[in-house]
Amino acid sequence: METIIVVIFILGYLAIALEHNLKLDKLIPALLMMAVLWALVAFGIDSFPNWFDSAGQKLVEGFANFTLAERHHLLEETLLHHLGKTAEILFFLLGAMTIVEIIDYFDGFGTIKNFVKTKSKKKLLWIFAGMAFVLSSIIDNLTATIVLVTILQKIVPEKETRLWFASLIIIAANAGGAWSPIGDVTTTMLWIGKKVTSAKLMEYLIIPSIVCVVVPVYIASFMKPFKGNIDMSGLDDSGPKSKYGPRMLYLGLAAIIFVPIFKTITHLPPYVGMMLSLGVVAIFAEIHSRTQFMLTNIVENDGDDAVGFHSPVHKSLSRIEMPSVLFFFGILMAVAALESLGILFNGAEALKVMVPNTDIVIMALGVGSAVIDNVPLVAASMGMFQEPIDDHLWHFVAYSAGTGGSMLIIGSAAGVVAMGMEKINFMWYLKKITWLAAAGFLAGAIAFMLIRNLTF
């Protein structure tokens, strides 16, 4: 039965990795794989020799002697445990996504255009890379890429030049997301899973992440596509469409930044702080949209006439990427099935014997994240390794999984969205950008190892 479970997981994994070839959204195989795996676990519960205690991070003693009823009870408890841990991540992401959509509702990101004042391609490259690095650490690398590529389309009219800018934005956004607990879904997973703390994550990864983006951007700044000036006639200087845009931008970003602080003060799970931040931002959003709440209905007050319901919060919730949320649910619960049977634990022990150098394993994970989605890779690593919180292994996992995906256009969520927005060709990216991303990845990894060795 264990062999069948592993085969189904591999097939599901391949379907996720080949979603563009199969023309099948990765959400579908993730959900199917999750449901089938847990069904097989339930059917074969009386035949499994091991069971992994996720809370205690060890195999359950005497599991082979458990009765069938005891095994089913343990299965239910384990399923609820993993559902709870997965829900923490999903509600955190839902809160963050909603805040970002509320900012966008008021065109708050239009404020960022005020930072662009130069016509030099080289200076513009550094500005966009810097904004991608900082913005992705706050609102996540996917959203930062969408915002900056949208602005890029209004500033750079030439298609070929824009492809180069967008590609470097991908590298910078992924690097920026790696050092922040709220910058990438994988670092968020490690943070909520109590593998890293926000303070130590930033302390050990800020410099490697900076190196990871500076190296490729510095090299690219001397290349032909970034020489000369850009015709800025396409730049819209009108600023945000809403007068509340700048205010909502700063309030939303501050609310998201507040979440790690809230966790540190209260020791409550991060999603609680995110819900608090969402509530505060939502209050201001409703006030600024001049929505009037009544006992029988909700109307938008435009002058003296009620013109109907138009809540910015409801509008923002309707724009959330629910397929992405369900994909995370499916893949995390599918990996949890393998973890519960002790397959990941035993696999990690075998891997340590075959490859004693953990750094090589983790760097291979980074390279693998360029081909395969980094979410299941990190989820698997969380089940494979039992190192304590803030062990350097977890920091290296966060760096490798977060930045390794830049080496292929399909290797990260930021790359996929930029690919769709700018129609970036896979082979073009492979020939022109992959080596730059690889150089940054290796340089950052070396920087991390040096910092780690100095702290021992």
Tokens of 181: 């607990």
| Alpha-carbon distance values, 112 to 26, 142, 210 (Å) | 32, 17, 21
Q: Given this model, what pLDDT does residue 212 score? A: 95
Listed by start position, the domains of the chain span 1-49, 93-179+217-318
Pick from 403, 440, 407, 404: which is nearest to 426 by CA? 407
- Residues 103 and 92: their CA atoms lie apart, in Å, by 17
Q: Given this model, what pLDDT does residue 206 score? A: 93
Put simply, whether the predicted model's pTM sits higher than 0.75 gets the answer no
Pick from 85, 265, 92: which is nearest to 193 by CA? 85
| Alpha-carbon distance values, 128 to 123, 147, 170 (Å) | 9, 11, 10
Pick from 371, 376, 369, 373: which is nearest to 401 by CA? 369
Backbone angle region of 28, left / alpha / beta, with phi > 0 → left and psi within -120 to 50 → alpha: alpha
Pick from 165, 199, 213, 257: which is nearest to 436 by CA? 213
Full DSSP string of 308-329: ----HHHHHHHTS-HHHHHHHH
Pick from 219, 137, 138: which is nearest to 176 by CA? 137
The 3-state DSSP class for residue 128 equals helix
- Residues 268 and 255: their CA atoms lie apart, in Å, by 16
CA 432, 434, 439 angle in degrees (round to 5)? 115
CA 313, 184, 83 angle in degrees (round to 5)? 75
The 3-state DSSP class for residue 410 equals coil
CB–CB of 175/212 below 8 Å?
Answer: yes
Residue 310 has a CB neighbour count (10 Å cut-off) of 14
- Residues 340 and 34: their CA atoms lie apart, in Å, by 13
One digit per residue, pLDDT tens: the chain, 456 residues? 888 988 998 898 788 767 777 788 878 888 999 999 999 999 988 888 888 777 766 778 888 888 888 889 889 998 998 898 888 878 887 888 888 888 888 888 777 776 677 778 898 999 999 989 998 888 778 778 878 887 887 788 788 888 999 999 999 999 998 898 888 878 888 888 888 988 889 989 999 999 999 999 999 999 988 888 876 555 555 555 677 888 888 898 888 888 888 887 888 888 898 899 999 999 988 888 764 443 344 444 444 444 444 678 888 888 877 887 888 788 878 888 887 887 766 766 676 677 777 888 888 888 877 766 677 678 777 777 778 888 888 999 999 988 988 898 877 778 877 877 787 887 888 899 999 999 999 999 999 999 888 865
- Residues 101 and 387: their CA atoms lie apart, in Å, by 37
